[in-house]
Structures are given as C-alpha cells and as structure tokens.
Amino acid sequence: MKKTGAWLARYALEQLGVRYTFGIPGVHNTELYDELNSSETIQPVLVTHEAGAAFMADAISRTSDSIGTLVIVPAAGAAYASAGIGEAYLDGIPMLVISGGIRTDVPYTYQLHEMDQQNFLAEITKQTWKVDSHAEIIPTLYEAFRVANEGEPGPVFVEIPVNLQLFSGEVEHLPVYQPDYSPSQLVESAAIEKAVNLLSRAKRPGIFVGWGARNGLSWVREIAEFLNAPVCTTLQGLSAFPANHPLHTGMGFGNYAVPAAANAFKDCDCMLAVGTRFGEIATGSFGVKPPQNLIHIDINPMVFDANFPAQVAIEGDAAYVLEKVWDVLQRQPEPVNLRSGIREQIQKDKHEYAAAWLQHDSQDRVNPFHFFRGLRNTLEDEDVLVVDDGNHTFLAAELMPIHRPGCFISPTDFNCMGYAVPAAIGVKLANPDKHVAAVVGDGAFTMTCMEILTAASQNLGIVFFVFHDGELSQISQAQEIPYNRKTCTVLGNLDVAGVAKATGARFLALERNVDVDQVMSKAWSLADDNVPVIVDVKIDYSKRTRFTEGIVVTNLKRFNLGTKARFIGRALVRKVTG
C-alpha cells in the first residue's frame, strides 16, 4: 500500500496513545500538522514558543499516562525547544520530539533550516533518529517510544524529512504497537537481604526519597512505619511521600533542611535512599554526610557511588525493589522502638517553624507562609501545584504540604526558568478535572508569560500566582553578602495586569495577608469558568529559606582563607562607601 509519511506518523502516534502534540507549524511540518488535525484522538496545540511546547510536553509526561510529544520545525524549533528537552533529560522525564527535516530528494545544499540535528540534540536526548524511507517511519517511532520509557526515562528525537511527509511511499503493512519492554525484574536476593539486615539493626534509620520513588509510596509507607523511620524527600520528589504523614519531615536532611528534617536525620545511622541521584539541589550543594550504611535503590546504575558511597546498591524499578525489601523486612522481628517520640518531635519542629514564619513581620507585603497556607486550604489533595525556578521554589518546598504523588512538579537539575506557565498548561490539558495552580517568580514569568495566550485559546482555567518583588531574588539575595550590590538582578517595571489583558486572562491583585483567602477564592471562582487567571502577589522575600541559608554556609566553608577575606573585605568597603 502507499501512504504519505505524514499519514504514517499520525498512525504511529495514535497507536502510541499520544493525546496532545505541541509546537508551531512551519514549511517542514505542515503536512504532518494537517494529518494531526484529522486525527480523532490527537489534539495538536499551537504554542507561542517552542520552549513552552517542550515544558508542556514535560508536564504531560509527569502527570498523565500519555507521553508528552513535540512536533516542531527543524533547526530553529529544535534550538528553542532544547531548554525543555534538556530539562526532561536531566529530570528523567520521557518525551517524544518529532521534527521535520530538509528535503533529501534534491541535490541542493544550504537549504532552509539545514543543520545536523542529531549531533545538536545528542547531549540532551537518550537517542536520535533520522528516517530515510516511508517504511522506517512507524517502526522508528515505536522504537523511540520504547527507548524514551525504558530504564531511566528521557526524551528522544525523530527527524522526518519533509519530502517523506509530503509524498506517498510504499509500505508492506501497518504494524499495531505492542509494548515489548518491562522494568527489569532481576534483583539479587542477597542485596535485598543485606539491605534488610542493615535496616533491622539500625538504631536511627531514615528514608530519603526522590521522584523515582513516587510509584512505590505504599511500600515506603510500610517500611517507614515498621522501622519508625523519618522520611525526607528531594525537591523533585516532594510529592513522593505525603506531608500529612507523621513521619514526613520535609525536603532534604542537612543544615539546608527545615528543622524537622535536620533534627530527625541528625544522627541517622542507616539511610534507605530511593529514586534519588544525590544531586546538587537534593543535597544542598553536596552539604550532607549520608551514613556509612547507605542503601541506594535506583533504576539507573550510573548514580551509584557517584557522589556518596553506598554500602548496598540495588538497581531496579523502585516500586518493585521496595516491595521485595518489604517482603523480607516484615518477616524480621519487630525492631525495638529506639526512636520513641520521633513523631512528636517532628510535629513539634514543624509547629515551631510555622510559628517563626507567622511571627515574621512582612510589613506591607504578603508573608509567604500566609500565602501557602491559604493555597493549601483552597486545593484538594489531588490538585496539582507547578512551580518555577527561583526563590519561590524553595518557599513552596518548605511551606506547602503536598499530600499525593505527582501533585507537585518543578524544574530541577536542568533548572530552567520559565517552566511553570507552560507546564501548568500541560498539566491542565492532561487533568481537566483538577485545579492547577502555578507559582512563578516575576523574572521567570517574563520568559514565558505569553503562553497564557495558549491557555486562553484552549479555555483552560489555571491560576497563575506571580510572586512580584522586582528582582531575580534567589540570585540577588546571593549577591548581597559577597558583593553588597545587585548586578543585573533588578527587573524593569512589570505590568502584570497588562500581561493579563494582552493574553485574555482575568487579573487579581494580592497585596495583604488579610486578603489571601478572599483573593484565592475569587481566583478559583473565575478559573472555574474555564479562563486563565493571573494573580499579582506582592510577596515578601525578606525572610530567607532554610535552603538558601544552608547552601550559603556550605559554599562559604569551601572557600580558602584568602578568598573569604577578599569577599568579606570587598563587601565591607562597598557597604561603607555606598
């Protein structure tokens, strides 16, 4: 039979269960867009920028059972989308990136958008392909989907030359997609036994979970309760363990963590770490000292011993391995409760930390604690919070309790600003029955705020809370001590109401603590009419997060005496001279 390449690509995406594609049509993919428009199961979504498209696709993969998919133009489209592709790559998020390609049936070079896209994207994808014939299109897309989801997930890239899309070619048959992979089930029983032995003998065990552990929540809970062990999370894994569980402590476990976590893990003698790479953010700039008895479970064996040595390293799907650990652990004698009072201590520390925030005088601005308490009260446990990269990220991590897996997403290791607005759009498309809130700093907001046009055109009732203080606050705060001045971190005057008008969103202002509940209630009421809402929050950033304070101390300790003297001396001189 003869089919166009665009038809074949559409058929393959339908077989793979793709529900949305994101991108911008161009001369190298218009035929594919026309085919997608004819699909009964796929909705192509026009964006304002390919970076936004990639963040939307990322969010689809994080919060649904469908893979986030891009359909972009070559070269420029790939370059713009690379921010979101890179975020997905370092965060372990599956993504299918499909690009048009220059014509391969003509003898000419220097064509529009001509470049080696495979080499360009090789560093931020798991694998790339360029198809050479119609017969390759369906098998290649199936293989790309498999690679994207196999092992540690990540983005993949497929280039389909425009001439293949436009013209008909011969194919023998149309294969139906059949999954041919499953998580590895080969786990050494000796490693499980050794891990259980360490946990059973520990006097002060603790559990550290990342994004990779989110599907193993039931087993983490069983293990934690059996051992009476506190549980902390990474930033990306903030939703991997419910914050309303009495053994939940917060993000991290070092001097950059909230008191509940820092105290609970202070003398930890055996740590079960699941689905975490012990990356820079998760460890507060590597300012932690995991115990010698470290049990590390991850689907990617490359993470073992990369930063901290493990006594036991177990490769495999987190949920499967945790189930095996629990099966063996529950047959052990119940451990003597050497941590009586740990739950009460955790709750006491949380209460005192909340009280410190409540006592903080935010003067004429909104206290972050009041904001997040109000937001938590307006959301159901199943609703989703999306945050961007910035000071607000760590305020959310410390002050916003998350109760269900997958209900908090953020950029992490690639650390892209501009993530939250488009990602929230992806979440809402995939989860139309849930409330979706985005919290974004004003600096990050300026990067992708025009994607709210996309939200408006799709009739998506999302509430975008813009933390507005006029600075790139995470960096400007870091400049204060060593430099005593702010260079390129003070923003221009941003008219948030003007952005709302330009994008078709409703606008509200939140300027006082006493107005938090009223403004949030009105925002969700407006959003329930299927329109985006922008709330301009006059936020107070004057009180530092524990994370910010901790990483500053950690990094200053690494400076030699001469460097410390130079930094302190320069700051003092500038303070005196103004």
The 10s digit of each residue's pLDDT in 359-408 is 999 999 999 999 999 999 999 999 999 999 999 999 999 999 999 999 99
Q: What's the confidence (pLDDT) of residue 234? A: 97
Lookup result for tokens 């975020």: 87
Specify the pLDDT at position 576: 73
**Average pLDDT over every residue of 216-241:** 97
Give the pLDDT score at 481.
67
pLDDT of residue 10: 98
3-state secondary structure of 436: strand
For residue 450, what is the DSSP state? Answer: G
Q: Tell me, what's the pLDDT at 185?
A: 66
Residue 477: per-residue pLDDT:
76
Identify the pLDDT of residue 482: 73
Residues 437-487 have pLDDT tens digits of: 999 999 999 999 999 999 999 999 999 999 998 887 888 877 776 777 888
pLDDT at 338 over 90: no
In the predicted model, is pLDDT for residue 221 greater than 60?
A: yes
Average pLDDT over every residue of 134-159: 97
Domain 189-345 matches domain 361-547 at the CATH topology level: yes
Q: Which of 126, 134, 128 is nearest to 98 (CA)?
A: 128
Find out if CATH 3.30.2350.10 is the number for domain 189-345: no
Q: What is the DSSP letter of 468?
A: -
Taking only the tens place, the pLDDT of each residue in 497-524 is 999 999 999 999 999 999 999 999 999 9
Domain extents for the chain? 2-170, 189-345, 361-547, 551-577
The proportion of the chain whose per-residue pLDDT surpasses 70, expressed as a percent, equals 98
- Higher local confidence (pLDDT), 148 or 173: 148
Instruction: State the CATH class of domain 361-547.
Output: alpha beta
Query: What is this structure's pTM?
Result: 0.95
Q: What is the CATH number of domain 2-170?
A: 3.40.50.970
Q: State residue 574's pLDDT score.
A: 77
Inter-residue contact 253 to 206 (CB < 8 Å): yes
Q: Please, which pLDDT band fits residue 181 given cuts at 50, 70 and 90?
A: low
Band of residue 490 on the pLDDT scale cut at 50, 70, 90? confident
Q: DSSP for 514-572?
A: GGHHHHHHHHHHHHTTS--EEEEE-B---SPPHHHHHHHHHHHHTS-HHHHHHHHHHHH
Backbone conformation region of residue 554, classed left if phi is above 0, alpha if psi is from -120 to 50, else beta: alpha
Strands 463-467 vs 312-315: parallel, antiparallel or unpaired:
unpaired
pLDDT recorded at residue 184:
57
Give the pLDDT of residue 155. Answer: 98
Contact 498, 536 (CB under 8 A): no
**Gap between the Cα atoms of 419 and 400, Å rounded:** 19
Question: What is the SS3 assignment for 571?
Answer: helix
Percentage of the chain beyond pLDDT 90 is 85
